[in-house]
Structures are given as structure tokens and as C-alpha cells.
């Protein structure tokens, strides 16, 4: 049986390098494509409202992750195939004495260990460096808070349902506590609190506001903290006086009149 010639071995190595480079290029294009989808057609906050080719934003995010992981594996294999060349170049640049070339298996194990340790350190650092963002109160929120503090708890507990006005009594609550995450700039969960249809229309689930029925309106369950099966449930809890105003508004019929200068 004839031994393999160096020319045949080099040809196999060349084909392997070409195949690895092609796979890496395809995976890199896949990362760019899925990254584009997550940034533009499916922007942040659109997971519950938009889908593309049958997949939501979160599902495309999973695809993006697995593509990036595949690219990492291909790059590790690429380093393994070129490890001897890398060692030789570094040795020449640093004018180190020539040593025997390490085996491909040893090179692969060393590369894998370095990459795994680096990724583990990165994952650990990211996991324990996550911090909760505390938003400072802005002008309107601070003024609203001061106004509430100046009023007595007894006066706030009772609100005349007949005289409650949406733009004067209710919308400022949304503006103070909700618009930052559910307004024109950001729509977490694909929801906007400044649009009437988002509160009153059924979009695959029960409307958030059921006029005349504050006791069973999901909005009250959310802002009172009794609805726990939702992201950041505790962050949606409002002060008791605001909840009382929202209940009074809903029980009075939950009117949302067209805004005019006279209604400000």
C-alpha cells in the first residue's frame, strides 16, 4: 500500500481550508442578515406584535445566537488547522529558538481550552454585571409626585366618578409612569398607553380596560400588582391614589374624549 505523498496531503489541507472559509463566510452573512432583521424589520418591543416568515423577534434572536455559535466553532477549527503556522510566525517575529512543531491534536486541544476559558469568563462577567436601571424623576413626574404628597390621603381616597376628567385626572398618570416605556419613543411589548385602541381593543387577549368594570379590568390588575405572570410585574405597580383615580375613571365609563385646548 503506497504511503500518502506530501502533495496529496497538502491538497487535502487546501480543500479543508477552502471549505472552512466558505462555511465561515456563509455564517458571517447569516449573522449580518439576522442582525439586520432584529434591528429594522423587527425592532425592540415588537415580539408580541410582529412576525417575519412565521418567526417572532425572540425566535430570530435564537437563530442569530446559534449562527454566531456556529461561526465561533468554525473559527476554532480554522485556528487548529493553522496553529503550527501561527506558532512559527510568532516565533520568527519574537526571534525565539526553533522548536518541533506541535501535533494537530495538541494544537486543537490548546485552542479549544483557550476559547472555552475566554467565553466562560465573558459569560460570568456579563451575568454578574447586569444592573437594574433606576430612572431619575423628570420634571413632570417630580411635579406630579409633589402634587400627590401635598394632598391628604383621605381626600385622595374618595374621587367623584361624575366629575373625573380624562385629560386632567387620568392621562397625567399614564404620562408620568407609563409613557417612558410605552409611548411614541419606546413600545415595550408592542404596546402604547397613549393610544386608545391599545387599551380598549381586543388583540388576541381581553381588552385592558372594560368600561364600567374596574374590578375585572386587566389594567387595574397590572397597576395594582396583583397580576404576577408578566415581565417586571412589580415595576408596573402604581401609588394607591393613582389606582383609585383609574378605578373611578373606568367605573364612570372610561371616556377618552378628543383632546382640545378647552379640555387641557
pLDDT-based confidence at 27, cuts 50/70/90? Answer: very high
* Tens-place pLDDT, residues 204-260: 778 999 999 999 999 999 999 888 888 777 888 899 989 999 999 999 999 998 876
Please enumerate in sequence order all residues whose Cβ is within 8 A of that of 162, keeping only pairs 6 or more positions apart, or say none: 252
Collapse the DSSP code of 46 into the 3-class scheme (helix H, G, I; strand E, B; otherwise coil) and give the result: coil
Residue 141 in contact with residue 176, Cβ under 8 Å?
yes
Higher pLDDT, 232 or 33: 33
Distance of CA 2 to CAs 5, 8, 11, Å? 9, 12, 17
pLDDT of residue 153: 44
Extents of the domains making up the chain: 6-127, 139-263
55 to each of 32, 34, 142, how far by Cα in Å?
A: 17, 12, 41
Listed in sequence order, the DSSP H helices in the chain are 6-39, 57-81, 83-94, 104-127, 139-150, 153-157, 171-177, 196-200, 218-223, 240-251
Q: What is the pLDDT of residue 204?
A: 72
Nearest to 38 by CA among 16, 18, 19, 61: 61
Rounded Cα–Cα distance for residues 229 and 130 (Å): 22
Cβ(193)–Cβ(179) below 8 Å: yes
- Residue for grid cell 491538497: 11
Q: For cell 466558505, what's the residue?
A: 22
Q: Which of 7-11, 70-74, 109-113 has the lowest mean pLDDT?
A: 7-11
**Three-class SS of residue 216?**
helix
C-alpha cell at 171: 392621562
The residue to which cell 447586569 is assigned: 130
Tens digits of residue pLDDT in 42-70: 888 777 778 889 888 889 999 999 999 99
Q: How does DSSP classify residue 101? A: P
Q: Which one-letter DSSP state was computed for residue 158?
A: -
Q: What pLDDT is stored for residue 65 in this prediction? A: 92
Question: What is the number of residues in the chain?
Answer: 264
Give the pLDDT confidence of 90-143 residue by residue, as tens digits.
767 777 666 555 565 676 677 778 778 887 888 788 777 767 655 555 555 556
pTM: 0.44
Q: How confident is the model at residue 202 (pLDDT cuts 50, 70, 90)?
A: confident
Residue 148 and residue 157: Cα distance in Å, rounded? 12
Amino acid at each position: 500500500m503506497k504511503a500518502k505523498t506530501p502533495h496529496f496531503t497538502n491538497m487535502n489541507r487546501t480543500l479543508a481550508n477552502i471549505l472552512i472559509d466558505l462555511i465561515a463566510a456563509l455564517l458571517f452573512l447569516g449573522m449580518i442578515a439576522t442582525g439586520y432583521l432584529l434591528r429594522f424589520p423587527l425592532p425592540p418591543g415588537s415580539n408580541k406584535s410582529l412576525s417575519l416568515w412565521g418567526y417572532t423577534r425572540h425566535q430570530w434572536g435564537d437563530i442569530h445566537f446559534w449562527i454566531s455559535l456556529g461561526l465561533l466553532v468554525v473559527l476554532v477549527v480554522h485556528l487548529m488547522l493553522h496553529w503550527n503556522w501561527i506558532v512559527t510566525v510568532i516565533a520568527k517575529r519574537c526571534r525565539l529558538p526553533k522548536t518541533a512543531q506541535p501535533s494537530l491534536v495538541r494544537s486543537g486541544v490548546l485552542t479549544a481550552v483557550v476559547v472555552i476559558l475566554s467565553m466562560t469568563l465573558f459569560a460570568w462577567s456579563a451575568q454578574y454585571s447586569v444592573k437594574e436601571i433606576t430612572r431619575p424623576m423628570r420634571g413632570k413626574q417630580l411635579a406630579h409626585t409633589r402634587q400627590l404628597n401635598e394632598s391628604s390621603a383621605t381626600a385622595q381616597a374618595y374621587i367623584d366618578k361624575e366629575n373625573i376628567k380624562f385629560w386632567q385626572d387620568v392621562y397625567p398618570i399614564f404620562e408620568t409612569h407609563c409613557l417612558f416605556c410605552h409611548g411614541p419613543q419606546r413600545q415595550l411589548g408592542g404596546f402604547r398607553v397613549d393610544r386608545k385602541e391599545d387599551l380598549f381593543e381586543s388583540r388576541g387577549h381581553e381588552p385592558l380596560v372594560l368600561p364600567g368594570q374596574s374590578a375585572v379590568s386587566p389594567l387595574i390588575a397590572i397597576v395594582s400588582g396583583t397580576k404576577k405572570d408578566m415581565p417586571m410585574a412589580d415595576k408596573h405597580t402604581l401609588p394607591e391614589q393613582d389606582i383609585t383615580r383609574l378605578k373611578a375613571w373606568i367605573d364612570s365609563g372610561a371616556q377618552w374624549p378628543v383632546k382640545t385646548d378647552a379640555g387641557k
